[in-house]
Homo-oligomer: A and B are copies of this chain.
Amino acid sequence: MEILNELLVPNNTKIIQIVVDGLGGLEKNGKTELETAKTPNLDSLASSASLGLTTPIDTGITPGSGPAHMALFGYDPFEFEIGRGVLEALGIDYPLKRGDVAVRGNFATARDGLIIDRRAGRLASSENQRICKLLSETINEIEDVKIRIMPGKGHRFVVIFEGDGLSHEITESDPQKNGKPPVVVQPLASDAGKTARIVNRFLLQALEVIKTEKQANYLLLRGFASLPDLAQFSERYSLAAAAIATYPMYRGLARLVGMNVLETGSSWDDELATITNNKSKFDYFFVHFKETDAAGEDGDFERKVSLIEEFDKLIPQILDFNFDVLAITGDHSTPAILSGHSWHPNPFLLYAPGTTRTEGETGFNERRCARGVLGHMNSLEVMPLLLAHARRLKKFGA
């Protein structure tokens, strides 16, 4: 889609892309979550909108949230893979800089040099916080590299290495199985020697600090990653872009592609208020609603249905914002009956008065979208479609 960039033309139109996380689902008693929910506003909006289905990655592939969002933002998730360490750092709202190396850590239990529990007996988060504080107080810097250690949930934590000449191309220090000795980190590239040396010294120093702990007397590091070099939204699409999300990881993903991440509260109403306060300042809004995905992950069909109904009640307010282009979709499906992400395509609704072929029929759900005028698309096609409807792309060729 390099051609897209060459076709950009200025306009003062405004676009809003609302991602209802894990929106798509599967049938329980013959109806999906969307089909079960009473959604009079969405149903009615559908008749004057275009519908379709979007495949996040490729047929049959179940995406994580990282690649699913990258695709929605128009970045090929195979070309721009976001490493686990980066996602973890984004997930705790850490302002990762280009050149930093981030890695996910697990506390573990070792005996006689062998890992006997890779999760350190499911460490309490309070214990995790205490040990991370201890480590942070003891280990600040190795050579010229600053080291930050931050607790996550349970036995998980994140380590950030900050300094010159670092590389994420090193092996992991995780034997992957219990009953195996921990692994020394090796460089995988010619310029990764320094990083491997520093990580190994970090491991030794950290082990010295925690060796007397009962549960968490060992640590494993995996998923070394750096920020990918991504063309930012402003240059890629000539859009001043804002992101409104309550969960850190989605704010982080948006920051990665150069969106301005706006302060917001924890409720959907807070998120809408943030749009009100900022609408004049940006061309494009990415608004993320997380809770539907969480309900799907929990296998709670009824809660997901009721959250969809809550979302439906926001539609009049959203329409009142009068965006030129409004898209409502999911990043991936999270069917409650599967209790997790799935490969099924996302319902997609595009409302752009005067520039769409409309359905002329009420109803917004997976099966209606499968017969929608937009057909089946890849998520990578969403951004070009939004730009086109915003009249921000000129003609290709003469």
Contact = CB atoms under 8 A, between A and B. Distances in A.
A189 interface: no
Contacts of A376: 375-376
A366 interface: yes
B398 A61 contact: no
Given A64-B395, A388-B62, A30 B354 contact: no
A61 B393 CA distance: 7
Nearest to A335: B355
A141 B35 CA distance: 71
Contacts of A65: 397-398
A394 interface: yes
Nearest to A26: B357
User: So how many copies of this chain end up in the complex?
Assistant: 2
Interface string A1-25: 1011001000000000000000000
A248 interface: no
Contacts of A57: 396
A40 to B, nearest CB: 21
B396 A67 contact: yes
B58 A1 contact: yes
Given A60-B381, A355-B338, A393-B61, A398 B66 contact: yes
Given A30-B360, A370-B357, A370-B373, A7 B393 contact: no
Interface string A81-119: 110100100000000000000000000000000000000
Contacts of A68: 397
A157 to B, nearest CB: 16
A384 B61 CA distance: 8
Interface string A314-349: 000000000000000000000001101111100000
Interface in A356-383: 356-358, 360, 366-367, 370-377, 381
A396 B76 CA distance: 13
Given A26-B357, A64-B395, A87-B398, A375 B58 contact: no
A124 B284 CA distance: 44
Nearest to A375: B376
Main secondary structure of the interface of A (DSSP, over half): loop
Interface of A: 1, 3-4, 7, 26-27, 30, 32, 53, 57-68, 77-78, 81-82, 84, 87, 337-338, 340-344, 354-358, 360, 366-367, 370-377, 381, 384-389, 393-398
Nearest to A84: B398
A60 B337 contact: no
Given A27-B358, A30-B360, A357-B370, 10 more contacts: A53-B375, A59-B384, A60-B385, A60-B386, A61-B396, A63-B395, A63-B396, A64-B397, A375-B375, A375-B376
A353 to B, nearest CB: 10
A377 B389 CA distance: 20
B87 A3 contact: no
B1 A384 contact: no
A371 B369 CA distance: 11
A73 to B, nearest CB: 14
A60 B393 contact: yes
Nearest to A53: B375
Contact of A62 (B78, B342, B344, B393): B393
Contacts of A371: 370-371
